[in-house]
Amino acid sequence: MSKTRITPDSAARPGLIKLALEVRAPYEFAAGVANLLYTQHLPRGARHPVLVFPGLVASDSSTVVLRSLLWRLGYDPYGWEQGLNFGPRHGVVAGCRARVEELFVEHEKKLTLIGWSLGGIYAREIAKLVPECVRQVITLGSPFKGDPRANNAYALFRMVSGHRVDANMVARIGEKPPVPTTSIYSKSDGVVPWQASHEDAHAEAENIVVKASHLGLGFNPASLYAIADRLAQRDGEWRPFERSGLKRLIFPDAFAL
């Protein structure tokens, strides 16, 4: 069966209906907390460090549920320790790179980098700078393709970061890191057009679609399951996510428009 080609160039800014659906986030948060009490259903893999990057104007407190779950699954999760994410301010990227290198040396193991929204851009870019330290990259609703003005957070990004994203930067950000990458996104995202988070076909790249809000992607049980499944793989033995059986009811087809 041929797969539909998805391009972000004509992706429209999520409308008011999708934006209104962001009210789901508190319920997703509650479901995520519930997952901390019951983890038997989640895949588990070899212990290794995991660095989690928060989204725009968020801090490490926004990823506490995710990192707590990863700790319960036997991993070594870390926050980015850069305060509120106000965009690529002076020294932030260098600080992130240094943190990855330090954790790599400390654990003597490659890291998985997980980034939520803007945090996923950091994860992808750091993986390009030090691929020898990175096991894989997982992003949650990260707008790494297309016109940045087509998402509902761009004006806020401009205001808090003072940066404008030009065509050259868009092209660079859209380049795949030289490590396995997984993009988890929702087609009902009220902040980022899902096409901007859709990774192009590649032997070591995939898209996992979940039914979630943008603000709830880091808590949503389907997202958490997908993350756990990706982390459970052995280093160097990456395989695409398997949507067989009942999983097809929970994880929609990325190519179904």
Residues 91-134 have pLDDT tens digits of 899 999 999 999 999 999 999 999 999 999 999 999 999 999 99
User: What is the spatial distance between Cα 51 and Cα 25, in angstroms, rounded to a whole number?
Assistant: 23
The separation between CA 207 and the C-alpha centre of its own chain, rounded to angstroms, equals 11
User: What is the spatial distance between Cα 110 and Cα 133, in angstroms, rounded to a whole number?
Assistant: 5
Which pairs from 236-240 meet CB under 8 Å and 24+ separation?
238/136, 238/180, 238/204, 240/206
Query: Does pLDDT of 1 surpass 50?
Result: no
Closest by CA position to 167, among listed 54, 55, 9: 9
pLDDT tens, position by position, 66-91: 999 999 999 999 999 999 999 888 88
pLDDT tens, position by position, 93-103: 999 999 999 99
Q: What is the pLDDT of residue 7?
A: 60
- HSE (side-chain half, CA atoms, 13 Å) at 60: 11
Mean pLDDT of 18-33: 96
Question: pTM score, two decimals?
Answer: 0.94
The residue to which tokens 């404008």 are assigned:
164
Give CATH for domain 16-37+46-234+245-250: 3.40.50.1820
Q: What is the residue extent of each domain of the chain?
A: 16-37+46-234+245-250
pLDDT tens, position by position, 185-218: 999 999 999 999 999 989 999 999 999 999 999 9
